Amino acid sequence: MLLQTNSYIVPRDRRMEHARLLRRFRQTLLRLGCDHFEVFEQVGTNWNTGETTGRFVQIMRFRDRKHQLAVQAAERSDPTAQALVREFCELINFPYQQQQGLFAVGFYTSFLRMPPQRTTTATSVEESEGEGAAEAPDTLPIQGQPQELAEAAEADDAEAYGDETAAEADGDNGLGEVAPGPQALAQDAEADEASPLFVEDDEASPQQ
């Protein structure tokens, strides 16, 4: 599982316009194949909503790199998506935020997997037995004791962590490529992933 985040500042007088634009973003991304798009607003300590900073973060989730590239290609060839990107860049004054380091792009890959959960309650099993039903329940309980499930989850996590550690030692980013350094990542973010829908800088924003 892969995540991309876009963090930026929204002027106070353009918050409503930003909210409407994000709803259109969600519809467009869903149509292009990205079915997980969330937006969060930064607030004060202990989630004090009275202390807003104007900073928002968009979160897009992809199944793998192939899925991300497919959505990116669809976005670049879609006139509606391109128009939304240009409107967004104008709304937040994208060239200024990028120049001042206010616009930030992040890339994440899955690290810790949650253990499986029981899907059949004891009550439903007892009711089925009391009625003398011969049919199996719609959802079968997960086999194994809780301790065994926990040990299996830990073993899976240890194996995944070992694979990622080995890939890091070899300089492999898990895609059969040598992992770029911080400077190369920064250049890639500016050239390829700078806007919320992966549009290139010269297409996303007007020249100053």
pLDDT of residue 116: 73
pLDDT of residue 19: 95
Q: What is the pLDDT along the chain (208 residues), one digit of tens a residue?
A: 999 999 999 999 999 999 999 999 999 999 999 989 999 999 988 998 888 889 999 999 999 999 999 999 999 999 999 999 999 999 999 999 999 999 999 999 988 877 777 655 545 545 555 554 444 444 444 444 455 555 555 555 555 445 444 444 454 444 444 444 444 444 444 444 444 555 444 444 333 3
Q: What is the pTM of this model?
A: 0.57
Among the CATH numbers 3.40.50.720, 3.40.720.10, 2.40.50.70, 3.30.70.100, which is that of 2-110+179-204? 3.30.70.100
Q: What is the pLDDT of residues 57-83, one digit of tens each?
A: 999 999 999 999 999 999 999 999 999
pLDDT of residue 59: 95
pLDDT of residue 21: 95
pLDDT of residue 139: 44
In the chain, where the domains are located: 2-110+179-204, 122-170
Cβ atoms within 10 Å of 32's Cβ, excluding its own: 19
- For every residue of the chain, which 3-state class applies, written as one string? CEEEEEEEECCHHHHHHHHHHHHHHHHHHHHHCCCCEEEEECCEHHHECCCCCCEEEEEEEECCHHHHHHHHHHHHCCHHHHHHHHHHHHHHCHHHHHHCCCCEEEEEECCCCCCCCCCCCHHHHHHHHHCCCCCCCCCCCCCCCHHHHHHHHHHHHHHHHHHHHHHHHHCECCCCCECCCHHHHHHHHHHHCCCCCCCCHHHHCCCC
